[in-house]
Structures are given as structure tokens and as C-alpha cells.
């Protein structure tokens, strides 16, 4: 008979004297459940030496599972399914979850492709990379841009899931984000801290799921994360401190990283290392506790509690610099709104010019260069559109009388096409209201606009507009939309013609891209609401609780 002591922490803390070669995992779980008062034993996971103790067939004794005298056992509470779902319901729920994650990845891929390759956005915004100062970045090739955008979108979505405590789903999305970042040139990725922060978030999900089976992987991830943070921020965050003007935005991030390192050290049996790391994390936790008087001061000025705490934590609790921070952030938000409005106007302008044969948007910077040397804007845009934004080729076409004439005819043709489509739409709208088609068409010819035609038709309910038209009224150009609308002109046929409101020949028969609006909105909504400090803005309450829990476990082990 092998008697032994087990040191228990977590749901119940204390020492158990048991027969190691007689007790099973189920017996131990039941005993701890009884002592902790948590009720059903299946509410507990027992973790020893970094692995979860499994019941197996119920006959394996603790000694057979490698549990030795003076072993430390963590009893972690697990959530219990209160709804009593059937196996079928659970399967269907998992299938639905898998489908949603697949849709999310597909939507992120399409969004990143559209916004990284110069294609004309179908939305009224652009996803653009920025540094911590809010300045636009152009990192690497088109492939690199696409990989980084996709990684950022997925990471932002995962953070939203983490805030809702959906850690399992968040872990799946973080894995997809990690895969996306891996497609980028690693030298570019090493310049920024996004991947290290993603690694820390993954380990945080492991911890919140209490899944110690990931222990070895978690250790590797955290080691890489610390190395990446130091590379991006500089040793002891010196580079970041310069960029941030003396601020301390990274403190909460380092707190979480040290906590997780302490947890891993504890479950690996490195008790002194665990204690040192957790003590350092606790010091940072205390450093991040906002004094009531400081919080009250900011709230009296009209700031919300959340933004006041954020400002104080980012500025080492210094009231003066925190106030400056809040003022700067407000100015940045106002500037961003102005830039978004400007970009929306630019996109609307680009849509007016159509897309190149390879479905790219007209480059407005190159367009403005051509306009600055005297070319008419719409004509210059058509030249760039036809030549895939090649400025020299566009310039050649503009200065060649024959090709210039072709460009002008194309613009006239496109305008006529728009007028025909507008007139057709107005006609169908009025006919759908119950007016006779002949009366509608006559009224549109008389007045030219849908609104004026409608006013006329409403005021003449018993008169057929085709017969009651006043011949003295000016008539619009009847040839607009006629058989000669497409127009033709001299010049090389290699320039081609357009068949879809300015889009190139290559897109003539392309079906419209299928979009998953729900997933795209979910992805872009999170990313557009983020700012340069979002990755560092961590509410550290759960971290504080975990530090207390593991320091208690260490204290219990030392006093045993």
C-alpha cells in the first residue's frame, strides 16, 4: 500500500492523504468536489504536471498515471452544459459553427484581395495599413499587403470573440490569422508587433479554456512572442517609448505575457521561475490600478469611465499626459472621419471612370499628374483606364490625334449609355406606379427628369400624355440612346471598346462577385472601430484574479 500526500489548489486548496495505488481519478475528483462544495464531480478538471488526468476505463490507479507523493494537482472548474443538449443538437451546433468559420475565412480572403490589389472597392471605403502614428503604410508586394490585411481582419474578429468569452471560436480564428500572416515576407512581419500579440492572445485562449494539454506549444508560442515584442519594441521597449512620446501602452500586454509565462513555469515544475514571473506580473497589475480620484476627475470633465481608464493606463497613471492623450485621440478621430469622407468621394469618382481591363481602379494620383499638365480630367482618366494606369502609354494616347479621338468617342458613348439606363429606370419606376407606358415615355421626353414627369402625370390623370404634350415645350435630344449612340471613330482598334459602363473588355461577361455581406460587415466593422492602441487596451481584471490563484498555489506548495 502506497500512502502519499497530494497538494491540491484551485477549486479547493489543501493537502489530501490518500492511497495512491488504490485511488482512481474518479475517486479523487469526487473527494475534491465534496470538499469544495461544487457539487457534481464532472464540474472539475484535474491537472497534474501539465496534463489533464483522464478517467480512462475507470480502473487505472493514480500511481499508474504517474501521480507521485507530494504531487501538485490543480482542480479547475469547467462549465457545464445546462441546456441538456442532445448529441444530435451538439453535432448540428458544431456543424453550424464550422460553416461560419469557413465563411469568415472566405470573406476575409475576398476582402483582402479587393483592397490590396488596386481593384475598385465595391464598398465606399478602403482597408489601409497604418503604423502606430496613424500614417498609411505600403508594406511589400501585393501578396504581402493581402496577407497582412487578412491577418489583421481575422485578429480583430478574434478579439471580439474573446471579449464575448467565446475562447474556442476565437482560437480557431486566431489560427486562421496566424496562417494568413505566415504568407507574408517574414522580414516585413518582424518589423511589427502584430504576430507576437496574436501569439499571446492564442495562449490566453488556452489558459481561459484551462486546456493544459497545449502546455508545450504555449511555451514555444510565448518564447517567440517575447522575442518578437523585443525586436519590434526594442529592448525594454526603448523604441516604442520614443515612438509613443514616453507613454506606456504596452504595460498591460506585458502583464498578460508574464502571467502566462508564470502559469507555464508552474505546471512545468519550475516553481521559483513561476514565482518570480508572477510577482513581476503582479507589480504591473498594481501599477495599472486606476486611483478613484483620478477617474473621478476625468469623469467630471465629461469623459466616460472606459476611455478615462484607458488614457490613465496608457500614460502610467499620469493625469496630465493622460489628458493630453485624450485630446490627441479626439483630434485623431476627427481627422480620420475627414479622411474617410475624402476617401469615399475618391471612390465615387473612381467608380465614375470604370475599371481597367484587369479590373483595377483608375489611379487618382497618376490622373492628377496628367491633369496638372493640361489634359482634361475625364479624358485622362479614360486613357489611364485603357492602359492599366501606365502613365507613359496614357500620355502617348492623349497626344496622338487618332487615339485621342477614340478616347473622346468612348466617353460620349458611355455618357449616352448612362442616360439610356437612367431613362429606362425612370420609365420602369413610373410604369410600376400604374401610369400607361406611352404616357410615361411622352412625359419623360417633355420634361427630361423623373420627378417633373411624375408631377405632370399626377396633375393630368385623365389625359394621355402622349396626346396632351405641348408641342411648344423644348424637347430633349431624341438621339440620346438611339441607334447611333455607341459612336465610332478613327484610330487603332487595339484600344478596344467598353461594354459595361467603363469596365474593360476582359470583364465584359464576368458574373458579379458573390459576397457574404454578413461576414464582411463583421470583419470590417471590428477593424474600422480599432485604433493604434487597441492591441494594448486590455482590461486586466481576469489577469489579476489568475495571479492571485497561482501565487496561492505556489504558497501552498512552499508551506507543505
- Model confidence pLDDT, tens digit, residues 483-513: 333 333 333 333 333 333 444 433 444 555 6
Three-state DSSP class for 233? helix
* Residue 443 confidence class, pLDDT cut points 50, 70, 90: confident
Interval 298-356: pLDDT, tens: 999 999 999 999 999 989 899 999 999 999 989 988 988 888 888 888 888 888 888 88
pLDDT, average across residues 362-385: 92
CA distance 443 to 449: 9
pLDDT, average across residues 539-560: 88
pLDDT, average across residues 155-162: 92
Of the chain, the end-to-end C-alpha distance in Å amounts to 22
CA distance 179 to 158: 14
Let me know: does 526 contact 160? Beta carbons within 8 Å. Answer: yes
Three-state DSSP class for 24? strand
Interval 117-129: pLDDT, tens: 556 555 555 555 5
**Nearest partner of 260 among 201, 175, 198, judged by Cα:** 201
Let me know: does 388 contact 394? Beta carbons within 8 Å. Answer: no
- Using a pLDDT cut of 90, give the percent of the chain over it: 30
CA distance 557 to 274: 12
* Residue 171 confidence class, pLDDT cut points 50, 70, 90: very high
| Residue 487 pLDDT | 34
Residues facing residue 119 across a β-bridge:
360
| Residue 480 pLDDT | 32
**Nearest partner of 360 among 126, 114, 101, judged by Cα:** 114
Is 226 buried (19+), middle (13-18) or exposed (0-12) by CB count in 10 A?
Answer: middle
* Residue 136 confidence class, pLDDT cut points 50, 70, 90: low
Task: Supply the pTM of this predicted model.
Answer: 0.64
pLDDT, average across residues 345-374: 88
Let me know: does 25 contact 64? Beta carbons within 8 Å. Answer: no
* Residue 81 confidence class, pLDDT cut points 50, 70, 90: very low
Q: Can you read off the three cell numbers belonging to residue 461? A: 390623370
Which range (104-113, 144-153, 456-465) has the least confidence?
A: 456-465
Let me know: does 110 contact 123? Beta carbons within 8 Å. Answer: no
Q: What angle, 0 to 180 degrees and rounded to 10, lies between the N-to-C axes of helices 391-399 and 377-386?
A: 120
| Residue 2 pLDDT | 62
Q: Can you read off the three cell numbers belonging to residue 366? A: 497618376
Mean pLDDT score across all residues of the chain: 79
| Residue 46 pLDDT | 82
Let me know: does 120 contact 350? Beta carbons within 8 Å. Answer: yes
In the predicted structure, residue 41 carries a pLDDT above the cut 80: no
Three-state DSSP class for 261? helix
| Residue 49 pLDDT | 67
CA distance 22 to 299: 61
| Residue 471 pLDDT | 40
Q: Can you read off the three cell numbers belonging to residue 167? A: 475562447
pLDDT, average across residues 124-150: 65
CA distance 318 to 325: 10
**Whose grid coordinates read 419606376?**
429
Let me know: does 20 contact 61? Beta carbons within 8 Å. Answer: yes
pLDDT, average across residues 432-453: 84
| Residue 116 pLDDT | 62
Rg (CA), the chain: 33
User: Of residues 225 and 348, which shows the higher confidence score?
Assistant: 225
Let me know: does 257 contact 225? Beta carbons within 8 Å. Answer: yes
**Nearest partner of 289 among 327, 251, 263, 262, judged by Cα:** 251
- 192 torsion bin: left (phi>0), alpha (psi -120 to 50), beta (else): beta
- State which H helix or E strand residue 101 sits in: helix 87-116
Amino acid at each position: 500500500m502506497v500512502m502519499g500526500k497530494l497538494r491540491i489548489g484551485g477549486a479547493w486548496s489543501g493537502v489530501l492523504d490518500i492511497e495512491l495505488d488504490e485511488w482512481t481519478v474518479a475517486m479523487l475528483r469526487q473527494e475534491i468536489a465534496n470538499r469544495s462544495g461544487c457539487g457534481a464531480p464532472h464540474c472539475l478538471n484535474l491537472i497534474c504536471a501539465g496534463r489533464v488526468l483522464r478517467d480512462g476505463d475507470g480502473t487505472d490507479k493514480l500511481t499508474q498515471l504517474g501521480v507521485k507523493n507530494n504531487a501538485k494537482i490543480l482542480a479547475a472548474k469547467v462549465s457545464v452544459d445546462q441546456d441538456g443538449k442532445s448529441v444530435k443538437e451538439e453535432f448540428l451546433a458544431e456543424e453550424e459553427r464550422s460553416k461560419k468559420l469557413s465563411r469568415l475565412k472566405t470573406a476575409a480572403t475576398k476582402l483582402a484581395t479587393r483592397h490590396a490589389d488596386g481593384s475598385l472597392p465595391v464598398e465606399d471605403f478602403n482597408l489601409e495599413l497604418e503604423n502606430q502614428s496613424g500614417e498609411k503604410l505600403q508594406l511589400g508586394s501585393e501578396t504581402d499587403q493581402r496577407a497582412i490585411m487578412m491577418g489583421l481582419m481575422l485578429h480583430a474578429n478574434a478579439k471580439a470573440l474573446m471579449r464575448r468569452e467565446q475562447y474556442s471560436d476565437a482560437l480557431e480564428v486566431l489560427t486562421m490569422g496566424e496562417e494568413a500572416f505566415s504568407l507574408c515576407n517574414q522580414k516585413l512581419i518582424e518589423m511589427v508587433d502584430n504576430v507576437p500579440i496574436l501569439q499571446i492572445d492564442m495562449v490566453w485562449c488556452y489558459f481561459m479554456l484551462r486546456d493544459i494539454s497545449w502546455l508545450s506549444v504555449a511555451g514555444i508560442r510565448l518564447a517567440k512572442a517575447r522575442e518578437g515584442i523585443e525586436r519590434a519594441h526594442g529592448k525594454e521597449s526603448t523604441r516604442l517609448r520614443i515612438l509613443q512620446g514616453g507613454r506606456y501602452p504596452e504595460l498591460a500586454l506585458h502583464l498578460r505575457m508574464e502571467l502566462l509565462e508564470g502559469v507555464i513555469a508552474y505546471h512545468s515544475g519550475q516553481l521559483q521561475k513561476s514565482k518570480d514571473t508572477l510577482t513581476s506580473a503582479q507589480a504591473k497589475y498594481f501599477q495599472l490600478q486606476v486611483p478613484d480620484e483620478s477617474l473621478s476627475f476625468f469623469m467630471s470633465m465629461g469623459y466616460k469611465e472606459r476611455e478615462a481608464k484607458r488614457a490613465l493606463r496608457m500614460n502610467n497613471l499620469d493625469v496630465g499626459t493622460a489628458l493630453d492623450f485624450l485630446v490627441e485621440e479626439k483630434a485623431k478621430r476627427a481627422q480620420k472621419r475627414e479622411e474617410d469622407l475624402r476617401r469615399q468621394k475618391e471612390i465615387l469618382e473612381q467608380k465614375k471612370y470604370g475599371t481597367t481591363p484587369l479590373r483595377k481602379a483608375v489611379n487618382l494620383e497618376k490622373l492628377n499628374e496628367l491633369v496638372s499638365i493640361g489634359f482634361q480630367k475625364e479624358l485622362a482618366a479614360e486613357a489611364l483606364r485603357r492602359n492599366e494606369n501606365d502613365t507613359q502609354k496614357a500620355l502617348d494616347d492623349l497626344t496622338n490625334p487618332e487615339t485621342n479621338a477614340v478616347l473622346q468617342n468612348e466617353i460620349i458613348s458611355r455618357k449616352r449609355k448612362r442616360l439610356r439606363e437612367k431613362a429606362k429606370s425612370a420609365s420602369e419606376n413610373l410604369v410600376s406606379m400604374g401610369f400607361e407606358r406611352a404616357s410615361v415615355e411622352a412625359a419623360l421626353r417633355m420634361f427630361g427628369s423623373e420627378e417633373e414627369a411624375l408631377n405632370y402625370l399626377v396633375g393630368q390623370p385623365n389625359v394621355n400624355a402622349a396626346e396632351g404634350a405641348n408641342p411648344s415645350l423644348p424637347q430633349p435630344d431624341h438621339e440620346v440612346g438611339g441607334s447611333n449612340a455607341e459612336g465610332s471613330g478613327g484610330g487603332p482598334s487595339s484600344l478596344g471598346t467598353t461594354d459595361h459602363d467603363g469596365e474593360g473588355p476582359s470583364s465584359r461577361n464576368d458574373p458579379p462577385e458573390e459576397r457574404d455581406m454578413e461576414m464582411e460587415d463583421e470583419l470590417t466593422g471590428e477593424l474600422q472601430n480599432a485604433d493604434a492602441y487597441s492591441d494594448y487596451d486590455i482590461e486586466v481584471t481576469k489577469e489579476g484574479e489568475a495571479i492571485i490563484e497561482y501565487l496561492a498555489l505556489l504558497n501552498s506548495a512552499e508551506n507543505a
